[in-house]
Amino acid sequence: MPRYFVAGLVCLSLAFALVSVPLVMTSSASAAPGTKLRDCRECPEMVVVPAGDFLMGSANSEVGHVANEGPVHKVTVPTFAVGIYPITKAEFSIFNRKIGHPPTNGCTVWTGRPFGEQGFARKDPGKNWRNPGFQQTDNDPAVCISWEDAHAYVRWLNGKVHGTHRDGPGAVSIGPYRLLSEAEWEYAARGGTNTPYYWGSTISHQNANYGLEQCPPCGPMVKAADRWNNTSPVGSFPPNPFGLYDMSGNVFQWVEDCWHNNYVGAPSDGTAWVTRNCKYRVDRSGDWIDDPKILRVAYRDMGAAGDRDQFTGFRVARNVGHH
């Protein structure tokens, strides 16, 4: 859900995945592109994506282009591993059960009213990742997740790898797991393509979970293979060329970067851009209620690091050759 709406108005289970995918430990020598890995039974399944160059952003001529998607610039991305799916409700539940991370501060929810009406989105203190306001399976992506929650999850993963857990105010995550940088996310989402969507030039309910073409009123949103009015179980649509699922639609995904209004001065080496406006962090992908232009791979959004809403989750990255 685009944050500029919220800001203006508010100021197939995990068990199946664990038994169906072999546990693979990798090193830098064995981390060939396409290698799948999982460091522990509670760790997310990852896939290694190849190093490469790509053009990040969108040209003015792209339908739906927004000024903050430019200027288009070349980025070189090293090899790294990416979560094949967004973190699921079951995976986040395991983390929460292990360390007691509280689902505090409520969650911004959609009221069902059309765009532009007062009260379209509001914070509900009774909603959280356990109860986001609609029914989910354990294999749906976790939502009502803040950027800070995502970082706590990454610290926990790294603690499992190193045998210790670091959490609490000022805790530093040390280990191979992290959030993707914005450049890594776009590179991974494109999967070697250069079209507005990683499956082609036109939107398709056969390829992603999103809203109707005409929005408002955004409902009902069931059409073609997209038979969900809210989140869909991860992996319900075809993967992109890198074997990644739900890189467009279903839920927005937090990345590491601080928000910048454009790409002037952005890093060209694939690292996260963490200067200036770090109160707000970037999220990418589009979600289950959005219109087509927001599912374009180049689309960018942001939110305050502590914000939670029904539309945003995350996926993780992993450095290869580290344990």
Per residue in 20-29, pLDDT tens? 333 444 444 4
Pick from 268, 263, 230, 266: nearest CA to 249: 230
Question: Which domains does the chain carry?
Answer: 3-318 (3.90.1580.10)
pLDDT tens digits for range 208-241: 999 865 554 445 566 778 999 899 999 999 999 9
SS3 category, 12: coil
Q: pLDDT by residue (tens digit) across 251-262?
A: 999 999 999 999
Query: For residue 233, what are the CA distances in angstroms to 35, 156, 190, 251?
Result: 23, 24, 21, 11
End-to-end Cα separation, the chain, in angstroms: 35
Q: What is the pTM of this model?
A: 0.88
> Helices 147-162 & 89-99, crossing angle to 10 degrees?
70
List pLDDT tens digits, range 94-128: 999 988 777 677 999 987 655 545 456 789 999 99
